[in-house]
Chains A and B, each alone.
Chain A
Amino acid sequence: MAERTPLYDIHVEMDARIVDFGGWDMPLHYGSQIEEHHAVRREAGMFDVSHMTIVDLHGPGARAFLERLLANDIGKLKRSGKALYTCMLTPEAGVIDDLIVYYLNDEFYRTVVNAATRDKDLAWMSKVAADFDVTLTERDDLAMIAVQGPEARALAAGCMNPEHGDAALALPPFVGGEFGELFVARTGYTGEDGWEILVPGEVAARWWRAFADAGIRPCGLGARDTLRLEAGMNLYGTDMDESTTPLESSLGWTVAWEPGDRDFIGRDVLAAQREAGAPRRLVGLLLEGRGVLRGHQTVHVEGLGEGEVTSGTFSPTLGRSIGLARVPAGIGERCQVEIRGKRLDARVVRPPFVRNGKPRV
């Protein structure tokens, strides 16, 4: 029996096509994935992401715990509500998961990790936490709704009481805060402006319906995937996993080397790789011919060998196929991708492909 979010019934009522997504019954789309994609790029759409795992960290040792656990440095977080994107690594510098951390106060941080990695993440975090004065509390009482798109914040704010709505609209990018029963953060996974909203499960359906009535279009996880790929954002388990380091996953920018004495897990191995130069890197690909890039297709790089497409799709915004690929580090501007026995030309680009509704490649 698959798990269901508190919004399952309303998805069915809204004619969602439900699919199994890592053990969860989730909406794939509500009729047309492409129309949902465009709604987010042009107006506003919303996603049920309640399957994601929220873990609150309390205690005087919370900060020291996260300094040890995370490749990025929570010391960067100065104001309450500020969020940080980071990886947590194995001692061999492989990516265990990517996550968002919110700094709420010196003894209270909130993390959001992936659904498919829940069990191993909790086990790893608990193991590392044993050496620190910190308690981990999974918040499975909370649902999560992402409202995304150029008009999403204004439409969602209109569903809140005016005082809370105005205050939430004042949140700068990558900052969150509590407004009544909602925790609202100006973050997302689409390349558009918007909020990710944590809401008690028992009232989540009421908020979902209010957002829908306000004109925010329900969108499935299908559109979420094409939007994140256009935005050049990695998907854990697809574009990176424990066999790859952040430096091989175009996430070098999330690794905080300073302060130099911060001993995060995986640092030594990662520093050695940085010194030697990572042999592979993750790049964006634009397919020049007709066809669609898909995960696991072989990439041929002249003179350097082979690589592999990690994620590929048809980009509804660009009207052509895009992908991410892990390739030999010395790759130039061109390569070929093998699609059903034919080698098709592709151009190597730096993601994002699309940001704030506009093509960037």
Chain B
Amino acid sequence: MSNVPGELKYTKSHEWVRVEGDGTAVIGITDHAQAALGDLVFVETPEVGATLAAGDACAVVESVKAASDVYSPLSGEVTEANAGLADAPEAVNQDPYGEGWIMRLKLDDPSAVDGMMSAADYESGLED
């Protein structure tokens, strides 16, 4: 069974968002996504300072099998990218909601998070 933490928000394309109190949000891919991809061997994180619109391809996660795009769930500016993934892409497999985070966004509109899927919504989508 996939781990779907209740405090996070989700997208249909299997990204998660953790809203911080300072107008930023941390973004990664879900446990379900990392399991489906298999062992990750390469993660291309976005450039700090890049401006993203919701739905933009912002990162690439590449497993032994294939490369997949990661889409920004929200609009904003990249303020931090997880540099640790350059040498340890397997962190996304081992700890997708912790050490395996991908980027931090300064949100254009923090209230946009409210329109995202809850853990329960995301989980029920996985069961379909």
Contact = CB atoms under 8 A, between A and B. Distances in A.
Q: Which 10 A-B pairs have the closest CB atoms?
A: A314-B41, A34-B39, A292-B62, A33-B64, A33-B39, A292-B42, A33-B38, A32-B39, A314-B64, A222-B64
A290 B42 contact: yes
Contacts of B44: 290-291
Most buried by A among B38, B62, B64, B65: B64
Nearest to B65: A222
A127 interface: no
Interface residues of A, number: 16
A29 B38 contact: yes
A294 B38 contact: no
Interface of B: 38-39, 41-42, 44, 60, 62, 64-67, 86
A290 B64 contact: no
Contact of B42 (A28, A33, A314, A316): A314
Contacts of A294: 66-67
Contacts of A321: 42
A117 interface: no
Given A33-B39, A290-B44, A291-B62, 10 more contacts: A34-B41, A222-B38, A222-B64, A222-B65, A291-B42, A291-B44, A292-B67, A294-B66, A314-B62, A316-B64
Nearest to B35: A17
Contacts of B64: 33-34, 222, 226, 313-314, 316
Nearest to B36: A17
8 contacts: A29-B38, A34-B39, A34-B64, A222-B64, A291-B62, A294-B67, A314-B42, A340-B60
B42 to A, nearest CB: 5
A240 B66 CA distance: 21
A88 B11 CA distance: 50
B60 A290 contact: no
A291 B60 CA distance: 10
Nearest to A315: B41
B86 to A, nearest CB: 7
Given A33-B64, A222-B64, A292 B41 contact: yes
Contacts of B42: 290-292, 314, 321
B70 to A, nearest CB: 13
A29 B66 CA distance: 15
B39 A290 contact: no
Contacts of A340: 60, 67
A226 B65 CA distance: 10
A195 B67 CA distance: 33
Contacts of A28: 38
Contacts of B39: 32-34
A183 to B, nearest CB: 32
Nearest to A34: B39
A28 B38 CA distance: 10
Interface string A279-309: 0000000000011101000000000000000
A145 to B, nearest CB: 23
Most buried by A among B38, B42, B67: B38
Interface in A319-346: 321, 340
Nearest to A36: B39
Contacts of A33: 38-39, 64-65
B86 A290 contact: yes
A69 B113 CA distance: 65
A316 B64 CA distance: 9
